[in-house]
Chain A
Amino acid sequence: MRKPLKIFVMLLLMLSCAHGSCLAAEIILVVNHDNTLAGITARAAELIFLSKKTEWTQGEHIHVVVNNDPEAYAAFCREILRKTPLQYLLYRKKMLFNGSGIPPLVMDTDEEVKNFIAATRDAIGFISKDSLDPRVKQLVIL
């Protein structure tokens, strides 16, 4: 009688977190500490990483960093962009082919990402939640 109840409660919790608003899962967006923003909408994040939104509120050019770490990448695609990793890859290739805009920088690990973001004021990237450390600031999904 208690076991099914626990499972049931957990399921409920999981369901309630089905919307991206609870990004409890694995990925967090991170920016430089000098960045005044505390949080952005999911839609804004999507646009940034699709190179459709290219400037911060004051007009500074957004430096986008793509984390090539497979898990982070996959999770990011799934949760923020709502595309498959392959789709996002193709998208980026297409952007490159078309020569439009400035393609995101590609880094292979969370560490590289954090290093870059810490050094670049207008950068934005994504890392796994566990990797968060004081060098970078988390950008909350609103």
Chain B
Amino acid sequence: MKLLKNIRTKVWSCVAIALLAYLLATVATSISNIRINDSLTSLEEIHFPLALKGDRIFTLFNEQTKNFEGGLITGEADELVKAREHHEEITSLFNDMVRTASRYDMNFYSGLLTLRDAYEDYFSLAADQYSQMSRGADLFKHSQPLLRIGKARERLLASFKQITGQLTETVVNEIKNNKLRAANTSRFLHLLFIAVLLIVTLAINLLANSQLITPLKNLKEMIDNFARGKTVEKPQNCDKGDEICCLALSFWDMTEDLKKITVSRNYLDNIINYMSDSLLVLSPTLAISRINQSALNLLSYEEEELISQPATYIFSEYGAGATIQTIFDELLQGKSITNLEMMLRTRNNMLIPVLFSGTTFYNTAGTVEGVICLARDIRELKGNLDNRESMSNFDPLTHLPNRNLLHDRLSHTLRLAKRSRKLVALLLIDLNLSSAMLETEEETAKLLLQEAAKRFLQSVRETDTVARLKRDQFAIILTNLNDQQDAKLVAGKIMKDISLPFHIAGSEDISLSIGMAFFPSDGSDDSTLLRNADTALAEAKKQGATLTVFTTVQSRIGQHE
């Protein structure tokens, strides 16, 4: 029903149905009232006056008869005068009645005329005869006319009775009819009410359903479909004035827009998930907030196991653990890192070398929203997979970083130091173990080396690196130094720690030789520093279990204990 456009017209049509029913009731009552009014008017103007007059004529006629009788029997002329007076009144009443009847009923009118004429005849005869008789005539001699008059009177009386009876009955009937009409109207109105109630309820329900409830249900269905991810159909033939349809149309537009956004989001998600490199997103607190499928596959983890874990859970330093923290601190400060060699720890605690790139990204307010980390698997690039030594950057015995890692660490440390303008010290330490022991008592030597490594680690800070270069040679990188004195203090401590007994069966006493080189004074790249430190060490060994700083070698000044 496209007649009804907007909600207002729809509601009005519902109301209109009810109003229509009301109108019907009003009309029915009005008609009934008009009929009753007409009836009562005719009662008032015709029937009741007729009945009254008829009754009055009857009464007067009886009076007149009594007068005649009296006059005749007693011979009293007064009685006849009274009779005549009554006659006047009777005649006028008759005339009124005739006039009224002429407007109302022709049959009754003619009947009334006949009666009036009969009465007139009777009266003139009676008046005449009786007045004669009253003058002293012998009644019994004139019995014939008297009898005739008497009989005429009887007939008149009967007619009067009949007519007054008729008139009274008419009045009573009219009243009864009106009562009946009122009762009928009342009954009709009751039935109408029930019928209207049913029809209106039905009609309004149908109308409301088709015009209001169904469109709203369709809208709800659209919303539900959209929520469940099913297709949403476009509403057809929407009139501009139809509010519900316009609402549905707006909703459909919204779903279409959302679809586009979802498509691009899905597109992006697919890109992220299918790319071959590992992608992680870290939160500002360096917890893993997003990790792609390649990363999960590489590390053999499920997504739930890694989300919200700290980055250090899987990122492993290419050296001691602290470096990771510094790397990420740098990132959070806004520096991007490209192609840094790093290790990722798998679920099986295996380390995989990766090329790490990281960038911080910001929200519109300018605060750090997270860190994007890209990691490329470089195991193949690293060459021989079977060679664990080269794969690993660590010395198997002491688990300290080996030469390879030391180089990287050193480079990295120097790079950082260049920026931070702090000193870096490279210490090369020789344990001076006899070759005899190293060859014959391997077990003891191993224990010794392990213990030495432990003591070295205890002597340095977290940010420093301890590495094992070869048989009994270690390297220590001291970072973030303010001056050379600090380094020398550390070196002194190390020598003291080493001099403490080892409690290992068959061990010799150890005497250290330490060669130290500083950045930037003794070199600004790793190979130079190493070379110079090595030189210092050689000198120290020559001197016999001492600490020698490269510069002093150079200047041959200041030999320290």
Contact = CB atoms under 8 A, between A and B. Distances in A.
Interface of A: 90, 92-94, 96-100, 103, 106
B146 A96 contact: yes
- A interface secondary structure, majority: helix
B139 A99 contact: no
A103 B147 CA distance: 9
Given A92-B140, A93-B139, A106-B140, A99 B69 contact: no
A111 B107 CA distance: 58
Contacts of B139: 93, 96
Nearest to B69: A97
Contacts of A100: 150, 154
B510 interface: no
B347 interface: no
13 contacts: A92-B140, A93-B72, A93-B139, A96-B147, A96-B150, A97-B73, A97-B150, A99-B146, A99-B154, A100-B150, A103-B143, A103-B147, A106-B140
B140 A103 contact: yes
A100 B147 CA distance: 7
B68 interface: yes
A100 B68 CA distance: 16
Nearest to A95: B150
B67 to A, nearest CB: 12
A99 B150 contact: yes
Interface residues of B, number: 16
B73 A99 contact: no
A107 to B, nearest CB: 11
B147 A99 contact: yes
B151 interface: yes
B148 interface: yes
B240 to A, nearest CB: 98
Contacts of A96: 139-140, 143, 146-147, 150
Contacts of A103: 140, 143, 147
B149 interface: yes
Most buried by B among A98, A99, A103, A106: A99
Interface string B428-459: 00000000000000000000000000000000
Interface in B139-184: 139-140, 143, 146-154
A94 B147 contact: no
Nearest to B138: A106
Given A99-B151, A106-B140, 13 more contacts: A90-B73, A93-B73, A94-B69, A94-B73, A96-B140, A96-B146, A96-B147, A97-B146, A97-B150, A99-B147, A99-B153, A103-B140, A103-B143
A94 B151 CA distance: 13
A3 B73 CA distance: 51
B365 to A, nearest CB: 131
